[in-house]
Structure 1
Amino acid sequence: MVWTRTRRALALITATLTVASTAALVLAAPAAPATAAIGGLTWQDEFNEPAGTPVNQSRWRFDIGGGGWGNNERQYYTSSTSNAVHDGQGNLVITARRDNPANYQCHYGRCEYTSARLLTAATFTQAYGRFEARIKIPRGQGIWPAFWMLGNDMGSVGWPAAGEIDIMENIGREPNTLYGTVHGPGYSGGEGITGSRTIGAPLADAFHTYRVDWQPNSIIWYLDGVEYHRIDPSRLGGDRWVFDHPFFMILNVAVGGNWPGYPDGSTQFPQQMLVDYVRVSGYVPDGGNPPPSGTTRLRGAHSGRCIDIPSANPVDGAKLQIWDCNTTAAQAWTFAADGTVRAMGKCMDPAWAGTANGTEVNLVSCNGNPAQRFTLNAAGDLVNLSSNRCVDVRDVNPNNGGKLHLWDCIGASNQKWSRF
């Protein structure tokens, strides 16, 4: 939750379908993109306490103060039940009030407003999974509600190196628009990577569900279950991906700031954000399959042949192929902890870090490029995480020597792989 948000534009590139070299020689519409494998609940707060009950401090703690919070905000955050309390109807209520208590000093002088900012830094952190809340946001010029996350290493590396994931932000002057953003080194503040969705009515008119599904090398945003934004390391323009460690959650209502502007004569107080629930689910690595131990062969469902290094020669740029399954090192693949798939000391790699349909899948020295990360999901798709495309046998070729490339995941048998 940082200021300005004059956002770095992300172009949504629409692929033009041509005569497909995949999927049984029939032109098929791409299936839904690969999504995170989500497990059971790991944390939740349903806010079902009696009216007047304070925040449960085994789940949430408070940030306190009026220092502007890096954005020239106008509120003083308190831990008072006048600013955060259960309403007895299944909601947490965060209230922003016009207030001028003598003992609350803000960065600009005596504070004009109070509000609350709750966080789980001391009680719960998690890497990856589904983070979701059902919220009815407040409204009005200068009102800035948010549900967001920060990296748990904030205290040692600071912001933005720790990373920030904004699940829900709205500014009062744009009542119908939701923003989802990430910030990290080289893409922070006004350069944050942002997506948005605008609906036909103010978000403050009703409860909505705000969610991210987060896995290694992918974060996807949803409003009421509908995806509206996604990022992966390839979208960062070479900047560092800092979303592979635990984060903590924050709920707050800010008043004023560089991005939303400041309350004016049209802004009514108090303003309340009602939170019906916050729920976190775990991430199941590798589509729910146990990670392989040691080496494994990767056999194609269409051909019955295995992914192979030609002539067992691990030269950089070797074009991976299918071949009769055997026990040579050329077919002994290892799924490494960093997301790479390795054989003969080198990594499976999309040529030149390409993400487009038709990008060759080669063998290259392991170099730490996020483009070399793959996952084999429960459906048998070997997905390149940077492109969100599947490893596919070119021209649906079932014969020895059939070459591999990336293609939209369409569920075809020449994109299906199993370990053995």
Structure 2
Amino acid sequence: MRALSQNSSPQRLLVAAVALGLTAAAAFAGTLGANAALPSTPSGWTQVFADDFTGSAGSGVNTANWQYTTGTSYPGGPANFGTGEVETMTSSTTNVRLDGSGNLLITPVRDGAGNWTSGRIETVRSDFQPPSNGVLRVEARIQLPNVTGNSALGYWPAFWMLGAPYRGNYWNWPSIGEIDIMENVNGINNEWATLHCGTTPGGPCNETSGIGGQRACSPTTCQADFHTYRVEWDRSTSPQQMRWYLDGVQFHTVNANQVDVTTWTNATNHGFYVILNVAMGGGFPAAFGGGPTSATVSGIPMKVDYVAVYSKAGSGSTSSPTPSATTGSGTRDAYSTIQAESYNSQSGTQLETCTDSGGGQNLSYVTNGDWALYQNVNFGSTPATQFYGRVASGAAGGVSGLVQIRLDSLSNAPIGSFALANTGGWQTWSTVPANITAVTGTHNVYLTFSSGQPADFVNVNWISFGH
């Protein structure tokens, strides 16, 4: 899914790096040792997630924080993860393990038949986004696989983020947004940073290349030492902005007004999850010499010292802005199943694995005041008069609430609702119908929740409408 462009030669990258200020980068990189602990929270920020990969040598990752992605694709998604990479991802500690010294190792390995395995982990959480008028900061300290030249052909390590609506859909890339904080290929001393959005091929974000920038590591190479890779997603500026940093030095910026409003909203008005992986082969390595080949060396890990996510509150309202309804690309059909996890934005909810028919994920831990937004829902010219919700509840006795539908603004009155109490368990599913005020045209649909008790009262798998 990641950038496939070849923007500059290594020689030009080195010149660009000098122009951006190598002295500051060197000073920053030199302040931390090879197995440094998680740094203290930067002044003005609040830590919202962190893992410094402390644990016994040979153990797996903390599955409260991370989930393994295995195989050669997401279930039902594009083959080879949509990028042409050739490895099989596993949860084996051969490919993903702690080193006992505070580092995570993700290691590609070739077997005797020439087949590659590697590792890909993703945060369980998929709600990382800035608060309204605030800033999100996502960073990691990483040493890239220490291999170069022909021995490195095909290596593709990455630290990146995908929009939450991708989970359970797997065919809505790049519209749901991808933020590549760090990518590297073929052992080149360079970091690539990219925002993917819009449509492919081409579109407002120049896919499949995306809107990218790049910078060389210095004074040590990206492969020879640890460096710190960071993105800041800033909703406090006008226009909104994303900024990329290598060892504390900013080198790439994307402003919201570089694309149209709908593209930016679709790509950013929701949470994200964080990914660490080392792919082998595919389109990006192919742009820089190809691989893997028989000369490619097996078993060289990407080392991750820590991953941390910070948030900085903004001034004014803490609720997300209400976008206006739009038509065109990205329109949803009101009369097909709208998966609850495919929201464009939400407040208060979480996602969990769903055991209902079809699997995927569901909204969970939903309580009074929570909401989820589904943009561009097309009801057509024949009025919709019914709403259906696939819901479950394990709420305690006496706890119940309303599942409501609102159009275009959280402040608008509901057009319909149904009440829900315990259904027999949080994964005991029932389809509940409700009458709604007749609706035509295209609208932003808010799913809102109201209860007289401060307790979780509903899980939601999907919603739909009928005549």
Check 1:249–1:188 CA distance in 2 against 1; reply closer, same or farther (3 A cut): farther
Separation in 2 of the partners of 1:250 and 1:199?
Answer: 21
Q: Give the deviation of 1:283 after TM superposition.
A: 3.0
User: Based on CA coordinates, which of the two structures has the bigger radius of gyration?
Assistant: 1
Contact 1:59 1:124 in 2 (8 A): no
State the identity as a percent.
38
Partner of 2:225: 206
Whichever residue aligns with residue 103 of structure 2, its letter is: N
Separation in 2 of the partners of 1:269 and 1:203?
Answer: 19
Check 1:239–1:264 CA distance in 2 against 1; reply closer, same or farther (3 A cut): farther
Q: Any idea what SS the aligned residue of 1:51 has?
A: coil
Structure 2 matches for 1:97-116, cutoff 5 A? 97-99=109-111, 112-116=115-119
Separation in 2 of the partners of 1:136 and 1:152?
Answer: 27
Whichever residue aligns with residue 48 of structure 1, its letter is: T
* 2:263 pairs with one of 231, 240, 249: 240
Q: Any idea what SS the aligned residue of 1:153 has?
A: helix
Partner of 2:248: 225
Q: Any idea what SS the aligned residue of 1:234 has?
A: helix
Contact 2:244 2:251 in 1 (8 A): yes
Check 1:336–1:70 CA distance in 2 against 1; reply closer, same or farther (3 A cut): closer
CA deviations on 1:194-223 (whole Å, 9 max, x unpaired) are 010124543110000000011222110000
Matched, 1:178 2:191: yes
Contact 2:3 2:210 in 1 (8 A): no
Q: Give the deviation of 1:262 after TM superposition.
A: 1.1
| Structure 2 spans left out of the alignment, 5+ residues | 9-15, 17-41, 73-78, 131-135, 324-467
Contact 1:7 1:192 in 2 (8 A): no
Q: Any idea what SS the aligned residue of 2:59 has?
A: coil
* 1:145 pairs with one of 139, 157, 169: 157
Q: Give the deviation of 1:7 after TM superposition.
A: 5.5
Q: Give the deviation of 1:239 after TM superposition.
A: 6.8
Contact 1:38 1:130 in 2 (8 A): no
Matched, 1:269 2:253: no
Check 1:192–1:48 CA distance in 2 against 1; reply closer, same or farther (3 A cut): same
Separation in 1 of the partners of 2:255 and 2:281?
Answer: 31
Partner of 1:93: 105
Structure 2 matches for 1:5-404, cutoff 5 A? 5-6=5-6, 39-66=45-72, 67-99=79-111, 112-120=115-123, 122-128=124-130, 129-138=136-145, 139=147, 140-154=152-166, 155-156=168-169, 158-172=172-186, 175-185=188-198, 186=203, 187=205, 189-200=207-218, 201-216=220-235, 217-236=240-259, 240-241=263-264, 242-260=267-285, 261-286=290-315, 291=316, 337=321
Q: Give the deviation of 1:240 after TM superposition.
A: 1.2
Separation in 1 of the partners of 2:194 and 2:50?
Answer: 23
Contact 2:126 2:271 in 1 (8 A): no
Check 1:153–1:292 CA distance in 2 against 1; reply closer, same or farther (3 A cut): closer
CA deviations on 1:363-398 (whole Å, 9 max, x unpaired) are xxxxxxxxxxxxxxxxxxxxxxxxxxxxxxxxxxxx
Contact 2:60 2:96 in 1 (8 A): yes
Separation in 2 of the partners of 1:233 and 1:73?
Answer: 31
Separation in 1 of the partners of 2:112 and 2:71?
Answer: 14
Q: Give the deviation of 1:248 after TM superposition.
A: 0.3
Separation in 1 of the partners of 2:161 and 2:320?
Answer: 28
Separation in 2 of the partners of 1:267 and 1:336?
Answer: 48
Check 1:238–1:96 CA distance in 2 against 1; reply closer, same or farther (3 A cut): same
Q: Aligned residue pairs: how many?
A: 258
Separation in 2 of the partners of 1:250 and 1:38?
Answer: 26
Separation in 2 of the partners of 1:162 and 1:76?
Answer: 25
Check 1:292–1:96 CA distance in 2 against 1; reply closer, same or farther (3 A cut): closer
Contact 2:2 2:180 in 1 (8 A): no
Q: Give the deviation of 1:38 after TM superposition.
A: 5.6
Separation in 2 of the partners of 1:133 and 1:143?
Answer: 19
Whichever residue aligns with residue 222 of structure 1, its letter is: Y
Whichever residue aligns with residue 132 of structure 1, its letter is: E
Q: Any idea what SS the aligned residue of 1:259 has?
A: helix
Q: Any idea what SS the aligned residue of 1:285 has?
A: coil
Check 1:205–1:284 CA distance in 2 against 1; reply closer, same or farther (3 A cut): same
Separation in 2 of the partners of 1:45 and 1:143?
Answer: 24
Q: Give the deviation of 1:126 after TM superposition.
A: 1.1
CA deviations on 1:287-310 (whole Å, 9 max, x unpaired) are xxxx169xxxxxxxxxxxxxxxxx
Q: What RMSD over aligned residues (CA atoms) do the two structures have, in Å?
A: 2.9
Whichever residue aligns with residue 159 of structure 1, its letter is: W
Contact 2:126 2:164 in 1 (8 A): no
| Structure 1 spans left out of the alignment, 5+ residues | 13-35, 102-110, 294-334, 340-420
Whichever residue aligns with residue 184 of structure 2, its letter is: N
Whichever residue aligns with residue 161 of structure 1, its letter is: S
Q: Give the deviation of 1:280 after TM superposition.
A: 0.5
Runs of 4+ in 1 over 6 A off after TM superposition: none
Q: Give the deviation of 1:83 after TM superposition.
A: 0.6
Separation in 1 of the partners of 2:320 and 2:191?
Answer: 37
Separation in 1 of the partners of 2:275 and 2:165?
Answer: 15
Q: Give the deviation of 1:338 after TM superposition.
A: 5.7
Whichever residue aligns with residue 2 of structure 2, its letter is: V
Q: Give the deviation of 1:249 after TM superposition.
A: 0.4
Q: Give the deviation of 1:53 after TM superposition.
A: 1.5
Separation in 1 of the partners of 2:213 and 2:260?
Answer: 16
| Length-normalised TM-score, structure 2 | 0.51
Partner of 2:408: none
Q: Give the deviation of 1:145 after TM superposition.
A: 0.2
Q: Give the deviation of 1:233 after TM superposition.
A: 1.4
